[in-house]
Structure 1
Amino acid sequence: MRREDMLAGLLAQAGSEGSELITLRAVVEEASELGAARALEQMGLADDTAHEDLAELRELLRAWRDAKASAWKAVVGWVVRAVLALLLLGIAVRLGSKDVL
């Protein structure tokens, strides 16, 4: 039985029985599962390979984050080295060493 048919049957049962609590819970559960299935289908994740696709996307995202962190560390390292080199150059000039330039 399709989810749409199950939901329609439960709604008809709820209308005829006066909506008992168990019927309402079943309606909510079927409606939420139907909504989740529709959302996955609209996102293109309803096929059998969706799990593999998501695993691959997670791996790509992890690699991107690692590369970004590594790039920032390299940039910070180069900036620190440049500042220290300029500081040493300034100290050498201040002390009167003319051979530096």
Structure 2
Amino acid sequence: MSGAVLAQLMAQGAGEGADLTTLRAIAEEAGELAASRAMARLGLDDAAAAKDMAELRELLGAWRDAKRSVWKAALAWVVRIAGALLLTGLAAKFGFWDWVK
């Protein structure tokens, strides 16, 4: 997409005094041109871009799931260790070691 339509609209706006419709058309064309240029600079202007973006979103979702799983597992281990320490402390307090001898 080139800026030919945008240039034509700008000329029309300058020549006619730019009514609201022309200004809206200029803004729309400028936005589309800028978006096309941005996508081209990112390398997302080809036919495979939609598939690439879907794969990136899937990868990001998997990363978030893995991160969440790691935090859950770490929290579970902390709770288990705290429980074991609590049970060990209670056993020592109530003389469990004397019962074993």
Q: Verify same fold: TM over 0.5.
A: yes
The answer on 1:69 being equivalent to 2:68 is: yes
Quote how far apart the aligned CAs of 1:97 are: 2.0
TM-score scaled by structure 2? 0.90
Quote the Cα distance in structure 2 between the aligned partners of 1:4 and 1:27: 11
Quote how far apart the aligned CAs of 1:22 are: 1.4
Quote how far apart the aligned CAs of 1:3 are: 3.5
Q: Greater RCO between the two (CA within 8 Å, min separation 6)? A: 2
Give the aligned partner of residue 15 of structure 2.
16
Check the 8 A contact 1:37/1:46 in 2, yes or no: yes
Name the count of aligned residue pairs: 99
Give the aligned partner of residue 52 of structure 1.
51
Structure 2, unpaired ranges of 5+: none
Quote the Cα distance in structure 1 between the aligned partners of 2:5 and 2:86: 76
- Cα RMSD after superposing both structures: 1.4
Quote the Cα distance in structure 1 between the aligned partners of 2:79 and 2:19: 70
TM-score scaled by structure 1? 0.90
Amino acid at match of 2:75: V
